[in-house]
Structure 1
Amino acid sequence: MKNTVKTGLRAGLKNWSTLLCFEILYKIIGFSIMGNITETLLDAVLKTGNVTFISQENIGYVLSRPLNLVILLAGLLLFTYYVYFEITALVIYCEAGWRGEHLSVWALWKQAFLRSLPVFHYKNLPVVIVLLPVIGLSVFPLTNSLLKGFRIPEFILDYIQGSFILLPFFVLALALLHVLLFFTLFSFPAVILNGDHFIGSWRRNARLLKKKKWKTALWLLSCILAFLLFALIGFILMVLILWGISNLESFPDNGRSQFEFYYRRWSAMGSVALSIFGTVAFCSTMLTLYHNYKGDIQPLPHKTVHTVKSVLRRVIVIAATLVMLAFYSETELGGNINYPTDVKTEIVAHRAGAVFAPENTLAALRTAISSGADMAEIDVQQTRDGALVILHDSNLKRTTGLDADIWDVDEKTVKSLDAGSSFSSDFRGEPVPTLKEMLDAAKDRIQLMIELKSTGHEHGLVEKTVEQIRAAHMEQECIIASMDLELLEKSKELAPEIRTVYITALLYSDLYDLSYVDGYSVETTSLTSIMLLQAHIEGKKVYAWTANRENNIEKILRMGADGLVTDNPELARYYQNTEGENLLLQSLTDILY
Structure 2
Amino acid sequence: MSTLTKDTWKIIKFNQKNAFVFELLFRLVTTTLYLLLLNKGLLFALRMAGYSYLTAANIGYFLVKPWTLLLIAAMAVIGILILMLETGCLLTLYEGAFYSRKLKMGEILTGGFFKLAHEIRRKNWRLGLLILADYGLVNLYLIYQMLTHVKPLNFVISEILNKPVGKASVALFLVLLLAVVIPGIYTFHACMVEQKNFRDGYFRSLWLLRHRVLKVVILLTIYYATAVVGLWIVYAFCVLIAAVGVTLFTDNSLALAILPAACGRIELVLIFLTSMFLTVGNWGALSVQYFGFTSNFTKRSKSSDYSGSKYGDRKLAALFMAVAAAFSLFSIFGVVRNGSAITTDLLSVIQITAHRGSSKEAPENTMAAMTKAVDDLADFVELDVQETKDGVVVLGHDISLKRVSGINRTISSYTFEELQQLDVGKWFSADYEGEQIPSLEEVMEFCKGRININIEIKDLGNSSELPDKVRDLIEKYQMKEQCVVTSVRMSYLSRIKEQDPEIRTGYIISAAYGDYYSSDAIDFISLRSSFVSEKLVEAAHKKGKAVHAWTVNNKSEIERMKMLGVDNIITDYPVLAREILYREAATETLLEYLRLVLK
TM-score interval for Structure 1 and Structure 2 normalised by the shorter chain: 0.3 to 0.5
TM-score (normalised: structure 2): 0.45
TM-score (normalised: structure 1): 0.46
Does 1 or 2 have the higher relative contact order (CA < 8 Å, sep 6+)?
A: 2
